[in-house]
Structure formats: structure tokens, C-alpha cells
Amino acid sequence: MTLQTVTWMSAFLCLAQVCSMPMPCQLQGQLVRITHNLLRDMGGNFPLECLQENVFVAFPATAFSTSGAPQLSSSGAMAIYETLKNIDTLFGADDLPTKWDQRKLENFQNIVYRQIEESKCMMGSVDTSDYLIRTEGLKTYFSNIAAVLKEKNFSYCAWEVVRQELLYSLQFILEHNSDSLLWANRT
């Protein structure tokens, strides 16, 4: 009986130790990839009936530039965080398309929210030297995206344009800024 009690207490203490370990303050690459894939899969290919309403919104690649450094500065990582916050704001609307896979849409929203909540600790590590320039470009970009939605009365095609733009943004982050994301060890 004593051996069983000691075993259970040891297991409990190990679990408590693991659960209390601090998590690194960094966005998780796998979650960004899942976010991209859910966004892509919730609506499929860009609908042909929306081609006439497709508009170009200039993507602020400079907000994610590394200036020759192998990894993003803390303000560059914050640009990814700000992108997720803006995506969360856009998808907080009540008039999201019903044609999209609602389960994938809900998972997408939950994972974006989770990433934001788990990465709030990044706010204290902002390198202000270029942070304001980066966020200004993102602010303009997301204002333009919101304007497209408003101008087109939040129509299905307007949302498809937004989805296409955000897919590009997430793909850009995954391809060009994956060094700033935390990736699980692959064995």
C-alpha cells in the first residue's frame, strides 16, 4: 500500500512540475500552419463568381523584413502577433459567410484567439526602433481589407477576397519568417 501511495505521489509531483514549467513567449509555428490550412480549407478555391469583385490590397512585406538578419527582431515577431490580432478582429464579425465550412471556421477562430492569448507576453519585449514602422504598415493593410468588406457590404465575395489576402499573409509568414516561430522538435 505504501509503494502504491509513493508511486501516485511521484506521478502527481512529476505532473505538477511539468504543468508549472514556463512556456516560451513565442508564437507556435505549427499553430500558424494549422491556421493557414483551416483558412484555406474552409472555403476551398476562390469562387469564379467572385472574380469580378477581386481587388488588389498591397501586402506590407516590409513589416516582416529581417533587414539581413537571420531572425526577426522582437518587433518583427510582434508584427506576426499584430497580424493575428487583426485577423481575430476581422473574423469577430457576425456576418461571416455561411457557405464556408462552419466547423473549420470555428476551429480557425479558436486557434487564432489561442495564439494571441498565449503570446501576450511578447508585448513587454518590443524593440521600439522599428516596431512603429512595422505596425503602421499593418494598420494600413488591415484598414484597406476592412474597407473592402465595408464597401462590398460584407458580401460573400468580399469575404472571399479577404480570405485570399489573409491566406497570402499567413503563407508569407510561414515561408519568410518561420525562424521567428517556435517549432516543436521533430524526431
Beta bridge pairs of residue 182: 28
Q: Alpha helix locations (H) across the chain?
A: 2-19, 29-43, 74-90, 102-118, 128-151, 156-176
Q: Tell whether the model's pLDDT for residue 43 goes beyond 70.
A: yes
Name the pTM for this structure. 0.79
130-151 per-position pLDDT tens digit: 777 788 889 999 999 999 999 9
Residue 139 CA to residue 88 CA, distance in Å, equals 14
Q: Tell whether the model's pLDDT for residue 116 goes beyond 80.
A: yes
Q: What pLDDT shows up at residue 58?
A: 87
DSSP secondary structure string for all residues of 103-131: HHHHHHHHHHHHHHHHTGGGGGG--HHHH
Q: Tell whether the model's pLDDT for residue 73 goes beyond 80.
A: no
Q: What pLDDT shows up at residue 112?
A: 96
Beta bridge pairs of residue 28: 182
Instruction: Please state, rounded to an integer, the average pLDDT across all residues of the chain.
Output: 81
- Residue 170 gets which letter from DSSP? H
Residue 73 CA to residue 174 CA, distance in Å, equals 16
102-114 per-position pLDDT tens digit: 999 999 999 999 9
Q: Residues 60, 137: contact at Cβ < 8 Å?
A: yes
Q: What pLDDT shows up at residue 17?
A: 52
Name the residue with cell 493557414: 36
Domains annotated on the chain, with CATH:
25-180 (1.20.1250.10)
Q: Tell whether the model's pLDDT for residue 36 goes beyond 80.
A: yes
